[in-house]
Amino acid sequence: MRSLGWTRLGWPALRLLLTVAIVLGVFGLFLWALGKDPIQAYRDTFRLNLLNPRGLAGVLARMAPLLLTALGVALPFRSGLINVGAEGQFLMGALAGTWAALNLPALPWGLHLALVLLAGMGGGALWAAIPGALRALGWVNETIATLLLNYLAPLVVGYFVFGPWRAPELAFYPQTPEFPASARLPLWFGTRLHLGFFLGLFFLLAYAYLVSRSRWGLELRAVGGNPEAARRLGLPVERWILAAMVLGGALAGLAGITEVAAVHARLKLDISPGYGFMGFLVNWLAFAHPVGILVMSFLLAFIASSGFTLQITQRLPYAAVNVLMALILFTVLAKPLAREVRR
């Protein structure tokens, strides 16, 4: 991809800043109309989330699931698939990882954790393999299938959390028992920053290199860019479609299990405030571009963190932050970046 060049990023960056400024203005009016003090609210938000190391660490921790789910959307996107199902893959990853965390016999710390993360990736991958296979066979469109599976996943998780895996000690709140220490992700510097963030960065770098420079990436993008030509060039189109979905699902699943293993330490129903959908939007805002994914996931992570700040300081419902996110999206969508989305 030529557009990887840093010189091309100046203008989009400026436009992004402008967008954020406009949106903050509009959202400020909202707050003002609700009888809040927007200046104070913004000051708190910035102070608590950006200027304070603990707050910043919290934002970075929230970036981890966004980076991974965005990559989980970006990879299939490059092969011409629209994966709206990162939300479901996230949950299934968390489910499979939880199984490994709770059921594997005692193992040394690193090994157990590695197996837990691998199981999470496997869970997401398997869940994504369903729409991947259906699409590769030409039976069901992957957008529709992933969308449907998003709503099956919480029901499957719900079955286990309410049923066989329910922790006996907390009868009033449906959740699994706590993970053993050997299945927890390390937190660093006494903050919420955890290994998941660095996993996210690692996979982002791997994605950036593999997609643009490797033979695999070239084939993957060829399948997305022109399946007819790819088939005539002898590329195994169906296998790539399945592979892209499975790999994407694995990354979204990894997002799920890291979130559980680092933040909640047990599986419950409300582990995702829509990380999968946010990942879709991150990828869309970034046009699957690695630098864009980094920037946009930071921005959305910051917004999500702000939601909690506003909840505490301004007594707004957490969901209010969705309005802020929607306003950003509306503004960006109103100024299309290209005639067509590039793969």
Partner 1 sequence: MGDTPVLRLVEITKRFPHVVANDRVSLELLPGEIHALLGENGAGKSTLVKIAYGFYQADSGEIYVHGKKVDISSPRDARRLGIGLVFQGFTLIPALTVAENVALFLAELPWVVRPRDLHRALREASRRYGLELDPATPVWQLSVGEQQRVELLKLLLANARILIFDEPTKVLVPHEVENLFRVFQGLREDGYSLIFITHKLREALTCADRITVMRQGRVVGTVRPGETSEEALLHMMFGERLGEVVRAAGREPGEPILELRGVCTKPVGTAPGLADVDLVVRAGEIVGVAGVSGNGQRELGDAILGLLRITRGKKLFLGEDATRWPPRRLIQKGVAFVPEDPLAMAVVPWFSVLENLGLLDPRRFSRLGGLGLDWAGVRAHLQAGFARLGLNPLPEQARAATLSGGNLQRLVLVRELSRPYHLVVGLYPTRGLDVRSANAVRQALLAAREEGKGVLLISEDLNELFSLSDRIVVMLRGRLVGEFRPEAANLTEVGRCMTGAGVGHA
Partner 2 sequence: MNWFLSWISGAILYAAPILFPTLGEVVEQRTGMVNLGLEGLMLLGASVGFSVSFVTRNAWLGVLAAAGVGLVANLIYAGLVVHRRAHQLAAGLALMFFGIGMSALIGKPYVGQMAPGLPKYALAGSQSLLFRYDPLVYLAFLLAPLLWFLLFRTRFGLWLRAVGESPAIAYAAGVSPNAVRYFAAALAGTLAAVGGAHLSLGITGTWSEGMTAGRGFIAIALVIFSRWNPLRAIAGALLFGGAVVLQLQLQAQGVGISPFFLDMLPYVLTLLVLLVWGRGVRHVAPASLGRVYFGTE
Strand partners, 175: 268
Tell me the two tokens of residue 264.
């909640």
Choices 58-66, 216-224, 248-256, 273-281 (CB under 8 A): range interacting with partner 1: 216-224
Q: Which of 3, 4, 9, 18 is nearest to 335 (CA)?
A: 18
Query: Please, what is the minimum distance in Å from the beta carbon of residue 264 to partner 1?
Result: 35
Nearer to partner 2, 5 or 138 (CB): 138
112 touches partner 1 (CB under 8 A): no
Q: Which of residues 116-135 bind partner 2 (CB under 8 A)?
A: 134
216 touches partner 1 (CB under 8 A): yes
- Tell me the C-alpha distance between 183 and 104, whole Å: 10
Q: Which of residues 148-167 bind partner 2 (CB under 8 A)?
A: 148-152, 155-156, 158-159, 162-163
62 touches partner 1 (CB under 8 A): no
Site for partner 1 (CB under 8 A): which residue of 228, 270, 334, 335? 228
Q: Give residues with Cβ within 8 angstroms of 245, minimum separation 6.
A: 76, 81, 83, 128, 129, 131, 132, 135, 142
Tell me how crowded residue 162 is: count the other CB atoms within 10 A of its CB. Answer: 12
233 touches partner 1 (CB under 8 A): yes
Q: Give residues with Cβ within 8 angstroms of 202, minimum separation 6.
A: none
Site for partner 1 (CB under 8 A): which residue of 137, 232, 312, 330? 232
- Tell me the C-alpha distance between 175 and 158, whole Å: 9
Nearer to partner 2, 223 or 303 (CB): 303
Using only C-alpha atoms, the chain has a radius of gyration, in whole angstroms, of 20
Nearer to partner 1, 192 or 221 (CB): 221
Q: Which of residues 186-215 bind partner 1 (CB under 8 A)?
A: 210, 213-215
4 touches partner 1 (CB under 8 A): no
Contact 256, 272 (CB under 8 A): yes
List the single partner that 235 binds among partner 1, partner 2, none, CB under 5 to 8 Å by kind: partner 1
What are the φ/ψ torsions at residue 226 (nearest 5 degrees)? -165, 85
DSSP string, 81-100: -----HHHHHHHHHHHHHHH
Query: Please, what is the minimum distance in Å from the beta carbon of residue 260 to partner 1?
Result: 31
Q: Which of 328, 317, 211, 296 is nearest to 9 (CA)?
A: 296
- Tell me the C-alpha distance between 231 and 278, whole Å: 33
335 touches partner 2 (CB under 8 A): yes
- Tell me the C-alpha distance between 69 and 89, whole Å: 9
2 touches partner 2 (CB under 8 A): no
52 touches partner 1 (CB under 8 A): no
List the single partner that 316 binds among partner 1, partner 2, none, CB under 5 to 8 Å by kind: partner 2
234 touches partner 1 (CB under 8 A): yes
Q: What is the DSSP letter of 3?
A: G
Size of the site for partner 2 (CB under 8 A): 50
List the single partner that 158 binds among partner 1, partner 2, none, CB under 5 to 8 Å by kind: partner 2
- Tell me the C-alpha distance between 122 and 55, whole Å: 32
Tell me the two tokens of residue 121.
């990736």
140 touches partner 2 (CB under 8 A): yes
284 touches partner 2 (CB under 8 A): yes
Q: Which of 314, 305, 303, 280 is nearest to 192 (CA)?
A: 305
Positions touching partner 1 (CB under 8 A) are: 2, 210, 213-216, 218-219, 221-222, 225-226, 228-236, 342-343
Enumerate binding residues for partner 2 (CB under 8 A): 30, 34, 82, 84, 134, 138-141, 143-145, 147-152, 155-156, 158-159, 162-163, 274, 277, 280-281, 284, 316-327, 329-330, 333-336, 339-341
